[in-house]
Amino acid sequence: MSLRLYNTLTRSKETFVPIDAAHVRMYVCGPTVYDLAHIGNARPIIVFDVLYRLLRALYGRDGVAYVRNITDVDDKINARAAERGVTIRELTEDTNRVFQADVKALGCLDPDVQPRATEHIDEMVELIERLVAKGFAYVAQEHVLFSPAAMDAAKGGWPRYGALANRSLDEMIAGARVDVAPYKRDATDFVLWKPSKAGDPGWPSPCGIASPGRPGWHIECSAMSWRRLIRDFAGKISCDAADANVFDIHGGGIDLVFPHHENEIAQSCCALDTPRMANVWMHNGFLQVEGEKMSKSLGNFITINELLHTSNFGGRKWAGEVLRLAMLRTHYRQPIDWTAKALEEAEKTLDRWYGALEGVAEDATEPTEAFMAALQDDLNTPGAIAELFSMASEHPAQARASARLLGLLQMTPAEWKGLREADLAISPAAIEEMIAARLAARAAKNWAESDRIRDELVAKGVALKDAKDPATGELRTTWEAKR
Ligand code: AMP
Ligand code: ZN
């Protein structure tokens, strides 16, 4: 069985062959920490966490390096900090702290490295100076700009500019034509470095530019992936010379294909003189609300934090594992419609799976072959989850071992039950008291009172189940959390 992944660059599903099977290297574009992450932002985090877990299962725990950056220099950060009257450092630290707690609650492992853009300015400056020295970039009015035309003219053995996004130069010129900055030679040129106004964060500029400046957005990922996945592995990777500056997998949301990833490729290929930046380019589809991409700019977003801790979505809060299962029930390349109904279904499914696990001892069971086959087919999580459904009642231990590869069923059944009960508007002891009162009402043939008690419990999220004790014929009532 081999791992097959869909590669945006070739538009096909390919067998994954690592450059060095002892060190599989993956980079994923992480959050810009100016505001809390919304549940759409959580999609790449969860999807690539599943891939990370799968790669660790296939290549060994220490055989995988996963880098996900933190973008802590950005115009939106400056604006937000000024608006709130806090320092940039305070804003980015606070936002990052909540982000880390949120994605932990979603069951995601920490990446091996979470580099910050502001800690990799030296690498950005070095790449920019190389690009200027080689004629791929130029200085104009204290900016440094990258020239896609120069990249294409050089025919350096790399794909043409626009190959990842499958766009022609004409389309890109048309797209860039609005408000072209006067210092650009061509409409498609993009910023590598720009001057900082007084009060904005600034660093000594490259290429002899006198005033302090700051990086454009795209250069940071070329710099961080180079530093963390190429330079930090110098001497450790065994590969052909042509692969010396290539890593294995680069991921992010589909909106990053153009211009962000296209520009990362342009910068890295030209500065490092490599035919490829990464071998496999993976992109998750959008999470949508009523057919539209969830985004800050559209204002139709709900944050991970609100889903976990407030009743702002569907009138109640949701466990991280519920959000995770709801996310993984759709294949990562398909759009997802985010609804309270889907969350309720995911929760019911977890109730059932945890219920089947009660009394089942932890053992060393491995994920099943059918489950692994689904995951290895371009992360077919809906297929893998269908396998879990068919295993859950008959082979719960196997279901658990398999589910853990998806980051699910991480709790004990008792912990899950405790979590669900904590969500109720009533304590378990009070429920037992009401059940006893109801049984007394029934014994007295006071059906109205018995029904009233049951309805009151339903309103508090508790469902009752009546059954006759087979031995004594006595009525027994049990209850379940139904929210
Ligand atoms: P941003 O903070 O906008 O740069 O986004 C961070 C990550 O979340 C990127 O990988 C985006 O592609 C991804 N992303 C943003 N919005 C959505 C969405 N609605 N659905 C799926 N992924 C998204
Ligand atoms: Zn990036």
Q: pLDDT digit string (tens) for 17-30? A: 999 999 999 999 99
Pocket test for ligand 1, best of 49, 80, 220, 255 (most atoms within 8 A of CB): 255
Residues 159 and 269 in one domain: yes
**Domain identity same for 410 and 434:** no
- 237: exposed, middle or buried (Cβ count in 10 Å: 0-12, 13-18, 19+): middle
Q: Which among 128, 124, 147 is positioned nearest to 136, based on CA atoms?
A: 147
Say how far apart CA 103 and CA 106 lie, in whole Å. Answer: 5
Q: Is 255 in the pocket of ligand 1 (CB under 6 A)?
A: yes
Ligand 1 and 44: CB distance under 6 A: yes
Torsion 219-224-225-226 (CA) sign: positive
Tell me, in angstroms, the distance from the centre of ligand 2 to residue 83's CA: 26
Cβ contact 76:83 at 8 Å: no
Residues 311 and 432 in one domain: no
Please compute, for residue 52, the number of CA atoms within 13 A of its CA located in the half-sphere on the CB side.
Answer: 24
What's the angle, vertex CA 328, arms to CA 14 and CA 92, rounded to 5? 95
Q: What residues in the chain have per-residue pLDDT under 70?
A: 483
Ligand 1: which residue has its CA nearest to atom 14?
41
Pocket test for ligand 1, best of 41, 114, 327 (most atoms within 8 A of CB): 41
C-beta 286 within 6 A of ligand 1: yes
Same domain, 64 and 191: yes
Indicate the residue among 238, 265, 284 that finishes a domain: 284
Q: Is the CB of 252 under 6 A from ligand 1?
A: yes
Of the listed ligands, the closest to the CA of 267 is 2
Which tokens go with 34?
A: 């100016």
The pTM (predicted TM-score) of the whole model is 0.92
**40 CB under 6 A from ligand 1?**
yes
Q: Is the CB of 32 under 6 A from ligand 1?
A: yes
Task: Clarify whether residues 254 and 298 are in a common domain.
Answer: no
Atom of ligand 1 nearest to the CA of 285: 21
CA distance 255 to 238: 34
Q: Which among 26, 43, 98 is the best mutation to test ligand 1's pocket, defined by most ligand atoms within 8 Å of the CB?
A: 43
Total domains in the chain come to 3
DSSP assigned state of 303: B
**The last residue of a domain, from among 401, 421, 441:** 421
Q: How far is the CA of 301 from the centre of ligand 2 (A)?
A: 22
Helix, strand, coil percent values for the chain (each to nearest 5)? 45, 15, 35
User: Are residues 236 and 112 both part of a single domain?
Assistant: yes
Could you tell me which residues come within 8 angstroms of residue 174 by beta carbon, excluding any fewer than 6 positions away? none
**Residue 77 CA, ligand 2 centroid: distance in Å:** 17
pLDDT at 429: 85
Q: Looking at the structure, tell me whether residues 212 and 357 fall in a common domain.
A: no
Gap between the Cα atoms of 386 and 316, Å rounded: 27
Query: Helices (H) and strands (E) in the chain — how many of each?
Result: 17, 15
Q: Tell me: do 225 and 311 sit in the same domain.
A: no
* Residue at 28: amino acid letter: V
Q: Please indicate, yes or no, whether residues 61 and 140 belong to a single structural domain of this protein.
A: yes
Atom of ligand 1 nearest to the CA of 255: 12
254 and 311 in a single domain? The answer is: no
For ligand 1, the distance from its centroid to the CA atom of residue 130, given in whole angstroms, is: 30
Which of 267, 284, 301 terminates a domain? The answer is 284
Q: Are residues 96 and 232 in the same domain?
A: yes
Q: Tell me: do 367 and 441 sit in the same domain.
A: no
Closest C-alpha to ligand 1, atom 1: 31
- 255 CA from centroid of ligand 1 (Å): 7
Q: Ligand 1 atom closest to Cα of 254?
A: 12
Q: Which ligand is nearest to the CA of 262?
A: 2
Rounded to the nearest whole angstrom, what is the distance from the C-alpha of residue 78 to the centroid of ligand 2?
19
Q: What is the dihedral sign for C-alpha 169, 171, 177, 180?
A: negative
CATH number of the domain at 38, please.
Answer: 3.40.50.620
List the domain range (segments joined by +) for residue 340: 287-421
Q: Tell me what pLDDT residue 483 has.
A: 61
| Ligand 1 center to 155 CA (angstroms) | 33
Nearest-angstrom CA–CA distance, 336 and 390: 24
Question: ∠ at Cα 92 (89, 95), nearest 5°?
Answer: 140
**For the CA of 30, the nearest ligand:** 1
H helix runs in 143-294, sequence order: 148-154, 169-176, 219-225, 262-272
**Rounded to the nearest whole angstrom, what is the distance from the C-alpha of residue 253 to the centroid of ligand 1?**
5
User: Which residue type does 262 have?
Assistant: E
